[in-house]
Amino acid sequence: MKVAFLLLLLLSGSSLLAQVPLSQPFEDCNIQGSITLYDYKAKKWIASDIHDSQVPTLPASTFKIIHTLIALETGTVANEHELVKWPGHTDTTKYGYRPDIYHDMSMKEAFQVSAGWVYVEFAKRIGKERYRDYLTRAHYGNADVSIDDPDFWNFGSFAISPVNQIEILRAVYEETLPFSKTTFKVLKELMIEEQTATYTLRAKTGWTRDGGKDTGWWVGYLERADNVYFFATRLIKDRSTPNPAFTRCRKEITKTILKQMGALE
């Protein structure tokens, strides 16, 4: 994916309004990827790569956004503070070795430290049929949860595009998805990553290692008094290609571009 310009787009994705050079943040990280944004007040889409913004891939841990809503709404957990028992094992070949997360944990902590095993335990209780129902009603990705693995958001054919990520985030912000106001309130609190006197940043990272690729996400929205900016940044590289900056660059690229837009100081 060649990331050369910041393109201001209409919702249709076809009408070019303006363009500003944007290659530098990606070049600085020596990484390929794209960023897609939506300016809520101006009702304009922004994409560094029109094609890539519509290409679906595994959501990885960004799925925890809607997954949290589903787990709460179905009563899989009573609230964000209920402890989930550590099952005593995990496949470190799939997830890597993270001894700091291997203990009984609440949903709140699991969301904040991105402890995948907690949400895998939720998945075992919720069941694929209920997922298909919620995902279909929410218009989330392709709703393909058919893989014989409860962790269908990190492995398999389940997929969502950056544009669709933002559509879901807008629906979270507007609370138009099929969930209760109480459930939305919990999620929005869990998503807070930064909060100052002038803005609130709600977001979630994601990283999957499926198919010989590292796919890294950072999705969320920045609320200011006068506007809201939604973003979905996705970086992809071959697993065989080392890049120690891969993890931090998801956020660095996003924040650089938000600053260029004047949305972030």
Contact indicator for 237, 32 with CB cutoff of 8 Å? yes
The closest of 181, 119, 174, 192 to 152, measured between CA atoms, is 119
Alpha carbon distance 40, 20 (integer Å): 19
Q: Where are the domains of the chain?
A: 5-260
pTM of the predicted model, to two decimals? Answer: 0.91
pLDDT digits (tens, 9 = 90+) for 93-106: 666 678 899 999 99
Calculate the alpha carbon distances from 33 to 112, 221, 233 in Å.
24, 19, 8
Residues 6+ positions from 91 with CB-CB distance below 8 Å: none
Residues 6+ positions from 216 with CB-CB distance below 8 Å: 33, 60, 205, 206, 207, 234, 235, 236, 246, 247, 250
Alpha carbon distance 83, 193 (integer Å): 22
Count CB neighbours of 118 within 10 A.
26
Tokens of 199: 């803005």
Exposure letters 36-50 (e unless 16+ CB within 10 A, then b): bbbbbeeebbbbbbb
pLDDT of the residue at 21: 53
In 3-state terms, what secondary structure has residue 259?
A: helix
What positions carry a catalytic annotation?
61
Alpha carbon distance 159, 184 (integer Å): 23
Chain position carrying tokens 């065989």: 240
Rounded to an integer, what is the distance from CA 109 to the centroid of its chain? 17
The closest of 55, 46, 52 to 6, measured between CA atoms, is 46
Positions in the chain short of pLDDT 50: 1-20
Residues 6+ positions from 89 with CB-CB distance below 8 Å: none
pLDDT of the residue at 106: 98
Q: What is the DSSP letter of 53?
A: G
In 3-state terms, what secondary structure has residue 33?
A: strand
Q: Is 107 exposed, middle or buried (0-12, 13-18, 19+ CB in 10 A)?
A: buried
Tokens of 234: 């996705």
pLDDT digits (tens, 9 = 90+) for 58-106: 999 999 999 999 999 999 999 999 999 999 887 766 666 788 999 999 9
For 5-260, which CATH superfamily applies? DD-peptidase/beta-lactamase superfamily (3.40.710.10)
Contact indicator for 32, 247 with CB cutoff of 8 Å? no
